[in-house]
Structure 1
Amino acid sequence: MPEPHLLAADTDRAAVVTRLDESLADGRLTLAEYEDRSARAHAARTYGELADLTADLPLPARREPARREPARSPVASALHGGAWHGAWGHDLRAAWTGWVTTAVIVVGIWLVTVLGSGDLQYPWPVWVIGPWGVVLLARTIGERRSQDTDRQQLPA
């Protein structure tokens, strides 16, 4: 990074937040640490402030570009036994993190309105997080079963 006292640009802040996103997905940061650091990254004015946010994180490994498979229609995927297999596969942790974050926010808003009004209100957050959570749970179970099936098919 350039000298710590120089002013950072929006692209510099975005790069640090992307690195924090990856660290959260890798399990290096808790959700609370991620939220704190990303908020501080967006508010950072200098390169020094940005460097402090990632100083304890390992340098990102160089990644090879992902191989692209030919696009299949959902029907073709289902016929080949891989209905959307891989569509979320490696992003399940990120999907669950997004769900938890959203759940905390909407339940918090609901609680503030309940406490502010003094009377119990309809629990509308269930309609935001309920169906989403059911879909994520089904997808997670499906991924686990798929991984178990793949392991059983490997030669010993």
Structure 2
Amino acid sequence: MAQSPEMRASDRDRDRVAAVLREHTAEGRITMEEFNERLEELYRSKTHGELARLTADLPDVDLRARAAVPATVQPAAAPAEREAMHSGMRAAWATWAGASSVNWVIWLIISATSDSWVYPWPLWVMGPWGAILLVSTVVGGGRRKA
């Protein structure tokens, strides 16, 4: 179905134009100032015609045909780098450590202010969660694919 200039644009349409504008900025066709101005106008746009005016003075860019850096150009990763933990797994471990630390501090404050010994309940928070993360890391979910 052909899109008329009066047809309302969707968020996906705006995201596609934003990607095109980013590409033109990266290639040096527009400056950062122009990019920011066009981006502001982009998110105020309501129709396909308004979106088309934002890129009318720029050549067409096929984002699907844009290849990543060819494998021959990429340097070979060092063995230690290949074994590095994936950023998502590092974030999961950092979240686990932060939550565990907060729970232990709360437990320590409660223990210090009470008259009797307090059961170390933070073990129940960090234990199962940590075990799942450990298994995911060891089995390979945390390693980068080479």
Structure number with higher helix proportion: 1
Q: Normalising by structure 2, what TM-score?
A: 0.45
Q: Normalising by structure 1, what TM-score?
A: 0.43
- Asked which structure has the greater RCO (Cα within 8 Å, sep 6+), the reply is 2
| Bigger Rg over Cα | 2
